[in-house]
Copies of this chain bind each other. A is one copy, B any other.
Amino acid sequence: MTHRFDLRVYYEDTDLAGIVYYANYLKFIERARTEFVRSLGIDQVALREKSNGFVFAVRRVEADYIAPAKFDDELSVLTATEVVTGARLTLRQGIKRGDQELFVAVVTLVALTDTGQPTRLPADIRLLLQ
């Protein structure tokens, strides 16, 4: 039950060391989370705008940088749910170039109302994420 999202490394992603700048891996896995959620039929824009709406917010990231990605690399981001409760969602996200693992992160998300208050993940959303 792993979601896969492919992407290409462009100039904007690199730094003068000739490799992907370390913060940009977080952009890559965020793109993949957006596509993961979409693939489950969850519409983030609609979620935010309805009454009792909420957004997912990142609460914690543990990231290991194993090997660098380079300009023009074709990468895959693999995303899987580790744990989902009423209070939080923990995802495991890895970035690979072919079979080689370059990066792995455990990302904990919480649901926030539009005033920034923590709220519970609705049961239907939890079911989809499991």
Identical subunits present: 4
- How far is A12 from B20 in the complex, measured between Cα atoms in Å? 10
Flag if A65 contacts B57 (CB, 8 Å).
yes
Label chain A's interface by main secondary structure: mixed
Knowing A59-B65, A64-B59, A116-B68, say if A31 contacts B14 (CB, 8 Å).
Answer: no
Closest to A13 in B: B15
0/1 per residue, A1-35, Cβ < 8 Å to B? 00000001011101111110111101100110010
A interface, size bucket: 35 or more
0/1 per residue, A66-108, Cβ < 8 Å to B? 0010011000000000000000000000000000000000000
Looking at the complex, which one of B22, B34, B44 makes contact with A30 (CB distance below 8 Å)?
Answer: B22
Known: A11-B34, A12-B15, A12-B30. 10 other contacts (CB 8 A): A11-B30, A15-B15, A17-B55, A22-B26, A23-B23, A34-B72, A45-B71, A57-B65, A60-B65, A62-B63
